[in-house]
Structure 1
Amino acid sequence: MKKISLLLFSLLFVVATNFAQERRRGETKKTETQQGHTDQNKFRQMKDVLATPNDQHTASGAPGSQYSQQKVDYIMDIRLEESTNKIYGNETITYHNNSKDQLDYLWVQLDQNMRADDSQTPLAKSDRASEFITPSNFQSTYMKEGKGFGFNIEEVKSNGKPLSHFINKTMMRINLPQPLASGETFEFSIKWNYKINDINKDGGRSGLETFPDGNNNYTIAQFFPRLAVYNNVEGWQNMQFWGRSEFALEFGDYTVNLTVPEDHIVDATGVLQNEKDVLTKTQRKRWEQARKSFDKPVIIVTQEEAEKAEKGRATKTKTWTFKANKVRDFAFATSRKYIWDAMATNVNGKTVMAVSLYPKEGNPLWEEHSTRAVAHTLIEYSKLTFDYPYPKAISVHSERQGMEYPMICFNFGRPNPDGTYSDRTKKGMLGVIIHEVGHNFFPMIVNSDERQWTWMDEGLNSFVEILAELTYDPELFATNPAKDITRYMGGDQSNISPIMSQGDYVKQFGPNAYSKPAAGLYMLRKTIMGPELFDHAFRTYSKRWMFKHPTPADFFRSMEDASGMDLDWFWRGWFYTTDVTDIAIKEVKPLYLTDKPSERISEIIKSNPRAKTYFEGLGDLVYITDKKEDANSKAMDKYVDGKEVPSYIYSVEFEKPGGLVMPLIVELTYADGTTERQTFPAQIWMKDDNTARRVFASTQEITKITVDPDFETADVDTSNNNWPKKESNKFDNFKKEAKN
């Protein structure tokens, strides 16, 4: 059999075009100077955007040989005064300067000042008059009275002497008596108090919830002056706390004595040091049972016992002592209303306690699901990141909260008063528990700068949350994040911010910081990289930056370094712009086999000796034409020894109205109803950002071509994804029905 070259239409087009261009260049003289341009290719590298690597944050995305970070240790005596709802604290802080820099001062965060009477947070919000308002809202809006919130700093001392300091809203500068050299430590103390806010009346990420019986549920965080981060990226991270962008904190060791009413149940960051002093024999016995129960929670304080306790009011107090090492923060919860349950969780051979505290108002939902959801989260997150390193994780129920701290989080999800609940309530409760417990990994351990880059904790955590939810209840949490985000991405561009925006000025905070980063990572894992490559890279990043301060560049570089994939095109488009995905089928042209060249090819061969030599050197040829009248379906028969020849050939031109590049996923439907899917990498757009062409050959007729049939690439307009083109999509029909 003679050697045969089947030259597809696209190849002939390229060859013909090259010869034609060469001929025109010889015939045409330049009449004007052409204008230059800069490289705007979507696949250009991000060296113009990412910070220059150094010996602390390397080009691979790993911590460098000279990486360092500060350490801050706290010893605190905290007293909760229930009669006045005030907290009194006295803390001793030891600051370790592990950097190579000399420090002239330290910066301390005073987050409670965000709601102080002189706070500028309310003044920073644009406002306009409403046409109607309730009397109570009118009073709170236009007849404001001071509520007395915010820190009262009683004293700041070092070595028993007053220490110079200056308070700037939510930040306090500690003026050091002398510069703190590299490797030195500085110890000082702060005595303070503040009035606790009611989260349902005053708002806030922590505070108290008041019940009709007069009891309170205290979920307390951001309750003590905390050292800000100092590093070689930001210097001091001392941006003001305006109420949204969360916290950049240093790791350290904590010893905290919590004095509360004697009849309260308490849990907190860290390990309880004095069980015998604060727990009854029955509670201790049940707690020991929980430490060995890996299949179901053990009730340590029953609902009956909690209901009995909430009827009294203790006049005496107890002090609960907790110690926590290598944590970036501390929070606690306390109430006499708590039901308490716990179970052991096996995280790759290590026992971790999953714990829940909740008032009776949370039952039966919380008793059925909370602790199980905590345990499930620890196991699933550990699979994709690293083994959970802390001894426990606690879920505390509060009506309107969803907030996270090391080893403890506060979560909403309350059934109806009669104990019934809908799937929506159950889904919301499970979702917030998995999300907030998951924050132990991001940013409590992989300690990114939340004040600057909200997506680095919320977005990454929301992504892993999706995977954990799907394994907890696949039906309840069935989702397609890429499809779900299209409504946001296809919205009003003036009301959308790039993901890489500082959190305080981000528009549509939820989709920007949570949903869009999560959807992007979901697409990376499912469609662009594949689970095997993605999971290894994501785990590499997570392990590299455990108990450290990563930057966005560290994440981007680690994902590429560990996967061997160039993803700069994805980071640049998805994170740095508000561009959208919109890939369309522009034209489908049937082609036919023939044994004679087209007039165009004949003319090229005749007029160009080089072309003639080239074609003669190819040997036997068959041709492809777009003219049906020239078709010869048997043109290939004598060359293939009886094999079936693809007699249906289609040239398909795809276009990209959207600014984002994405893989091109094409599903072909054949005349017999079967389908075939072909996926072309995003690099198909590398040479031409607007158009991509492919030729599909088949032994039977192709009746339908669909782009992205499973909505994997966040395509904002699916009306142009089909051939033959649909008359209207479901959304168009919905609009017509609504209009009628």
Structure 2
Amino acid sequence: MKHFLFASGLLLSLAAPALAQENIDKSKFRQLAQELPTPNTYRTASGAPGHEYWQQRADYNIKAELNDDNQSLIGSETITYTNLSPDVLTYLWVQLDQNIFEKNSMTSLTRSTKIPEKPTFGVAEALAEQTFDGGYKIKSVKDANGKALPYIINFTMMRIDLPQPLKPKQSVKFSIDWSNLINDQKKQGGRGGYEFFPEDGNYEYQMAQWFPRMAVYDDVNGWQHKQFLGTGEFALPFGDYKVSLTVPADHVVASTGELQNEDVLTSTQRNRLAQAKKANKPVLIVTPEEALRAAKNKAKGKKTWTFVAKDVRDFAWASSRKFIWDAMNVNYAGKNTLAMSYYPKEGNPLWGQYSTEVVAHTIKVYSKFTIDYPYPVAISVHGAVGGMEYPMISFNGGRPEKDGSYTERTKYGMISVIIHEVGHNFFPMIINSDERQWTWMDEGLNTFVQYLAEQEWQRDYPSSRGEPRNMTTYMKMDKSMQQPIMTNSESVTQLGNNAYGKPATALNILRETVLGRKLFDYAFKEYARRWAFKHPMPADFFRTMEDASGTDLDWFWRGWFYTTDHVEQELTGVKWYAVDTKNPEVENARRRAEINEAPKSLSQQRNLQDIPKTLLDAKPELKDFYNTYDPLAVTAESKAQYQKYVQSLTPEERALLEKGLNFYEVSIKNNGGLVMPVVVQMTFQDGSNQLVRIPAEIWRYNDQEITKVFVTEKPVVSFLLDPFQETADINMDNNAYPQRAQPSRFELFKQQPQAITPNPLQRQMQQQPQAAPTSNR
């Protein structure tokens, strides 16, 4: 601790270094003027749609038939495309995403492959020429009069040349007939496809990207015809759909939209469905027993299910005779939505207990943070792999063991994937961002709200993404293994961390640490309100968040979204100063305590043993004045000098002097490059603590090192940066003063043969057979 004496006026000078002109362009706080597009009449500087904003429209009438014998589809669609742009169009672009399953697709041609030193037959099979040909077989493209239209297919994109230019405010109607084989999800992968159940010889079909779909034409990119390679998802225009699906007579169909012909259901099922529309708990519409009978008997014949959907950007469906089906009503803000789940018996007991409840929960939480859910239904369909989203319907994994047991990881993984995929109804199915170019705008924003929904599902829910501390492993990786968030999805090496985890973490930090919940929640909801049923771009999100929160966040977007910098603040030192009160009774006592508490040197300690008696101890007559003189004794003279000093002070100066304040000069380095708020916790001598939050702008003059003076009435015994690990600091070892090491553990073990151990629920079932899960609620 250092003591210092204030001169009259008690002034403390905190000089800010001047910014050199040549450093202005390098400042981490410079505006994003060069990175963001110039505002215009379509997209404003505030982030809102402009008064001349426009977007195209595509309405569909589709008829398709599923062949359960050879897993194929035959389809015919009529598209009415309306040009609401100010441009004249001479051709249209249609997406043929199923063409990634062609033998010579760009996906397979551009996939890097390598032969290992000892290839197995499985490796050889994988490297062999692809035998599955699941691409579209386009039979015809015709205008409204049945006349053939010229077209050309470029991998996953098809250009249709119009016989005459399509002017603004005009519509064109054309039809496409096609067929294709349906891919086996487990073998060929894909976001849709079928799963085969060898135990009963049945299939479940999850039909996604199953029909030729219009590409987006907008004011930013023109035609979005970037090839689909399997990672970058979809940019699609809104429209109305009428879809008729012909399937085996005993199949149950789950679909985007509302069922128009309920006579495909039995009278019992219709009554149950009517009951579910008023229920606050899931009601079984197709029971496990009914699904089991259908799977065994396999009825002959066909049925056609017809669905209608308004203002959606896509359409998906699922079909199987194995489906158990339950539903319940969700009422939010006075609007009713039917939450439903479809799942084979292999999904129970997890799916019967949780799926529809999770759907309902997701609709409520997302509506709270964005806009009220506008659609009449929300569906979760169980499949064997992954998760994928479409308007009103999602395909989700999470399967128990065959004995009905499941791990904690399986349970929470299932709940999380349902929240995530149902949540995609909002991002990007309604707030319709360009997934092909900016994956983070749907995955990152959705993962963030998923985190909020998980935390409202269960206290301390084990969310894998959202918490800043969960992102530090990725952010501390070598920069050569990372790309900025603002990178096209097909160029990202770690899509999960880059497009899901990192933006979700950034938004959580923006909400909790930078803006606070009130400012953030209002701005985030405003973004959703502005861009619902429209096509937002990154600049629209960035600008809206700043506009609605009243906060300049360019530094935040630049660091988190445009760079691979990370957070690494280091507390390099603390200097302690206290005011010299000039009071001899106070200062002399303090000095005496310091002397008495000072540790004795090693020599002094050993001399106490080795030198039992010094010469002066033996001959006290050798002592003089200085052997008994006490320089810290309080004298009448020193008291008088103190009184004279006190009388020279103003009342304000005297009050400040009597407080006995402590001044701590704290030095902090920014080792990671990413400027962030500084969160400091001070622990005092009496055990209490104080938290100080300093905005990131403290780095604006020097983004590498800062000092900050903290003034306290009580002595501080320790300082700690980021005590709640809220900034994603990758190294907590250098955040404390005095420095303290982060605890870790190591385990001593004996190498033993690997054994398959039962999960905790299996062990419980083995001990208490009566506790075995039931097949349904």
- What does the per-residue CA deviation read over 1:248-277, in whole Å, with 9 as the maximum and x for residues that have no partner? 00000000000000000001010100002x
- What are structure 2's unaligned runs of at least 5 residues? 1-6, 583-593, 596-630, 633-637, 751-777
The 5 Å alignment of 1:475-624 reads 475-477=460-462, 481-594=467-580
Q: Partner amino acid for 2:526?
A: T
**Higher gyration radius (CA):** 2
**DSSP 3-state at the match of 2:380:** strand
Distance 2:432 2:72 in 1: 30
- What does the per-residue CA deviation read over 1:659-697, in whole Å, with 9 as the maximum and x for residues that have no partner? 111000000011121111101000111111122212222
Contact kept, 8 Å, 2:101 with 2:132, in 1: the verdict is no
Q: What is the CA distance between 1:644 and its match in structure 2? A: 5.6
Contact kept, 8 Å, 1:344 with 1:354, in 2: the verdict is yes
- What does the per-residue CA deviation read over 1:182-241, in whole Å, with 9 as the maximum and x for residues that have no partner? 111100000000000010111110000000121001000100000000011000000000
Counterpart residue number, 2:296: 311
Counterpart residue number, 1:31: none
Contact kept, 8 Å, 1:482 with 1:714, in 2: the verdict is yes
Is residue 7 of structure 1 aligned with residue 11 of structure 2? yes
Distance 1:422 1:330 in 2: 33
Q: Partner amino acid for 1:666?
A: V
Is residue 127 of structure 1 aligned with residue 113 of structure 2? yes
Is residue 216 of structure 1 aligned with residue 230 of structure 2? no
Q: What is the CA distance between 1:4 and its match in structure 2? A: 6.8
Answer with 97-106 or 712-721: which moved more.
712-721
The 5 Å alignment of 1:91-490 reads 91-142=77-128, 144-158=129-143, 159-212=145-198, 213-276=200-263, 278-294=264-280, 296-477=281-462, 481-490=467-476
Distance 1:579 1:487 in 2: 13
**DSSP 3-state at the match of 2:284:** strand
Q: What is the CA distance between 1:547 and its match in structure 2? A: 0.4
Distance 1:378 1:427 in 2: 18
Is residue 41 of structure 1 aligned with residue 27 of structure 2? yes
Contact kept, 8 Å, 1:646 with 1:698, in 2: the verdict is no
Counterpart residue number, 2:693: 679
**DSSP 3-state at the match of 1:189:** strand
Q: What is the CA distance between 1:586 and its match in structure 2? A: 1.4
Q: What is the CA distance between 1:585 and its match in structure 2? A: 1.0
- What are structure 1's unaligned runs of at least 5 residues? 19-33, 597-627
Distance 1:551 1:574 in 2: 17
- Could you tell me the TM-score, scaled by structure 2's length? 0.85
Distance 1:373 1:709 in 2: 33
Counterpart residue number, 1:729: 742
Counterpart residue number, 1:657: 671
Answer with 557-566 or 305-314: which moved more.
305-314
Change in Cα spacing, 1:307 to 1:35, as seen in structure 2 (3 Å) is: closer
Q: Partner amino acid for 1:135?
A: F
Contact kept, 8 Å, 1:109 with 1:225, in 2: the verdict is yes
Change in Cα spacing, 1:293 to 1:518, as seen in structure 2 (3 Å) is: same
Contact kept, 8 Å, 1:525 with 1:534, in 2: the verdict is yes
Contact kept, 8 Å, 1:374 with 1:433, in 2: the verdict is yes
Q: What is the CA distance between 1:396 and its match in structure 2? A: 0.1
For the aligned residue pairs, the C-alpha RMSD in angstroms reads 2.4
Q: What is the CA distance between 1:735 and its match in structure 2? A: 11
Q: What is the CA distance between 1:643 and its match in structure 2? A: 8.8
Contact kept, 8 Å, 2:673 with 2:704, in 1: the verdict is no
Q: What is the CA distance between 1:720 and its match in structure 2? A: 1.1
Distance 2:433 2:747 in 1: 43
Q: Partner amino acid for 2:384?
A: E
Q: Partner amino acid for 1:261?
A: P
Distance 2:254 2:205 in 1: 11
Q: What is the CA distance between 1:307 and its match in structure 2? A: 0.5
The 5 Å alignment of 1:21-100 reads 36=22, 39-100=25-86
Contact kept, 8 Å, 1:450 with 1:457, in 2: the verdict is yes
Contact kept, 8 Å, 2:578 with 2:660, in 1: the verdict is no
Change in Cα spacing, 1:736 to 1:700, as seen in structure 2 (3 Å) is: farther
Q: What is the CA distance between 1:474 and its match in structure 2? A: 2.0
**DSSP 3-state at the match of 1:451:** coil
Q: Partner amino acid for 2:326?
A: D
Contact kept, 8 Å, 1:481 with 1:515, in 2: the verdict is no
Q: Partner amino acid for 1:424?
A: R
Q: Partner amino acid for 2:173?
A: E
Q: What is the CA distance between 1:595 and its match in structure 2? A: 6.5
- Could you tell me the TM-score, scaled by structure 1's length? 0.89
Q: What is the CA distance between 1:309 and its match in structure 2? A: 0.6
Change in Cα spacing, 1:285 to 1:35, as seen in structure 2 (3 Å) is: closer
Counterpart residue number, 2:730: 716
**DSSP 3-state at the match of 1:39:** helix
Distance 1:734 1:707 in 2: 26
Distance 1:84 1:489 in 2: 47
Contact kept, 8 Å, 2:510 with 2:520, in 1: the verdict is yes
Change in Cα spacing, 1:644 to 1:348, as seen in structure 2 (3 Å) is: farther
Q: Partner amino acid for 2:233?
A: E
Distance 1:264 1:519 in 2: 42
Q: Partner amino acid for 1:657?
A: N
Change in Cα spacing, 1:736 to 1:703, as seen in structure 2 (3 Å) is: farther
Contact kept, 8 Å, 1:113 with 1:119, in 2: the verdict is yes
Q: What is the CA distance between 1:650 and its match in structure 2? A: 1.5
Distance 1:319 1:401 in 2: 29
Q: What is the CA distance between 1:6 and its match in structure 2? A: 2.8
Counterpart residue number, 2:611: none
**Percent identity between the two aligned chains:** 51
Q: What is the CA distance between 1:128 and its match in structure 2? A: 1.9
**DSSP 3-state at the match of 1:183:** coil
